[in-house]
Every structure is written in structure tokens, then in C-alpha cells.
Amino acid sequence: MHAYESVSTWRQPEPAPASDARTALVGGIAETVSRRSPGRLRVAIDGFTASGKTSFGHELAAALRGLGRPTLRATMDDFKNPWREARERGYDRISGPGYYRNAYDFVSARELLLDPAGPEGSGEVVLCAHDPLTGEDHRDKVVRAAGDAVLVVDSVFAFRPEYDACWDYRIWLEVDAGVSPARGIARDVAIEGVGEATRLHRDRYHPALALYLEEVGPRGRADVVIDNTDFANPRIVPAPGP
């Protein structure tokens, strides 16, 4: 079954199976998604920073292909405003509020990715607008989504109003307090170093997430909430409310 992947260099490998319990949970979500419609679908995986969104997206896409559905994988990290444009236009992307308000290119995400991948869209989909590591523009790289393809997108802030109407299924990944910054810092140390990784999560990412939780209430918008604190034993939990 065909799988289209983003050309971005900002990638994580598909994880090895962690447990039978995790495989069963992901498989159940895939079946629920697939039953939504035989036509094209768009799935958002949102949650705390470093809650496991990308890994879950890879696993879900693989499970959907196992059900006979072609997939497309994308991340909103590939639909951010370039740093150069932010500087030229005087955008704040350093603070938490600045990151939340200004980092993402909502117009390109809608026009190139989400609208064409929808059930009434053209099917001509761009999976990466701007590589966040190399700075390369990939808007000319278009793939053709089959009529029954499922687009799986991982992102923080996925349920904000600029995107929310585009999703056919919304997944929220929950983790215990303290897990998100610890995982995020550990993930980013290799690129940023300990001090800078700690500062980024403390001063930018987590204040931005707090603003998102306050303004949007994303947990309450999800079709399913999954506690992903224990990677080998995720579990579906009641939505805790906004």
C-alpha cells in the first residue's frame, strides 16, 4: 500500500513495536479512523511537546496501510514561517506568545496540505513547504493523494482555529507533568546543547503551549485522548476538559 512521506530533513525514524498492548491500541485507532469514510481523510495528532506525536503518527500510518488505506505523512514543523521572513517582518518568534502567534504558516498549510488532501480537495498535495533545518523550499514537490488516502499530521497547536475545521479525526496525546519538558530537552540536547535546550523549553515551547491550552482547550476538541506517558502501555482516557 502506497505511502507518501515528507521530503524534509527534520525527520524521526519509525519506532520498533514497543508492546502488544501498544500495537493493539494503535490498531484500534486505525480501524476507527478508517471507518469514518472510504474517501480521503485528514487526521491530526496533537499533544504536549515531546509527548510522542511523531512516533504515534508513524505507527498509525503503518496500521492504516495494514487496513488497505494509502497514507500521507506530514508535520506542521514543515509549514513554519522561515526565520528570515520573521526577522524581515519584525515577528517575535523567541518568546512563548511570539512562537505561538507567529511561527506557523497557516495559509500555506491550508492551501498546500490540508485543503487539497480533503475529501473535496484536488488531491495534489505538498507535504513540506519549508525545510526547517536546511531552509530549502519544497513547495514545488507535489504528490497525488488517492481517493481513499489518509493524511496523518503531527503538530503542536493542531486544533487552533486556523486549522481545526480541516480535521476529520483529532487525537490528543497526554503525558504526566514533568515528562514533556524532560523528554523534549533530552531530544533537543544533541542539536542545541543542554543549556539552550533547557531555555527553549522553559521560555518558549511550554509558555506557548500554556497559551494554547488556555485559548483553545484542545483536549476537549479531541475525538480521543491517549495517555502516552508509558510508551509501552498507552491507554485511552476520558477527555479531562479544556
Residue 241 lies in a domain: no
Where are the strands (E) in the chain, listed by range? 3-4, 41-47, 71-75, 124-126, 142-144, 150-154, 169-174, 224-227, 235-237
Q: What is the CATH number of the domain that holds 155?
A: 3.40.50.300
Q: Is residue 54 part of a domain?
A: yes
Q: Are 220 and 241 in contact (CB under 8 A)?
A: yes
Per-residue pLDDT of the chain (242 residues; tens, 9 = 90+): 689 999 988 777 788 888 999 999 999 999 999 999 999 999 999 998 889 999 999 999 999 999 999 999 999 999 999 877 766 565 666 788 989 999 999 999 999 999 999 999 999 999 999 998 888 999 999 999 999 999 999 999 999 999 999 999 999 999 987 766 566 556 655 666 665 656 565 778 888 999 999 999 999 999 999 999 999 999 999 865 54
Residue 218 lies in a domain: yes
Structural domain of residue 119, as residue ranges? 3-236
Residue 201: predicted pLDDT: 59
Q: Strand pairing partners for 72?
A: 4, 151
Q: What is the pLDDT of residue 194?
A: 61
Looking at residue 185, its pLDDT comes to 56
Q: How many domains does the chain have?
A: 1
pLDDT, position 13: 78
Please give the pLDDT value at position 126: 98
Q: Could you tell me if 11 and 136 are in contact, meaning their C-beta atoms sit under 8 angstroms apart?
A: no
**C-alpha radius of gyration, the chain, whole number:** 17
Asked if the structure places residue 242 within a domain, the reply is no
Query: Is position 147 within any domain?
Result: yes
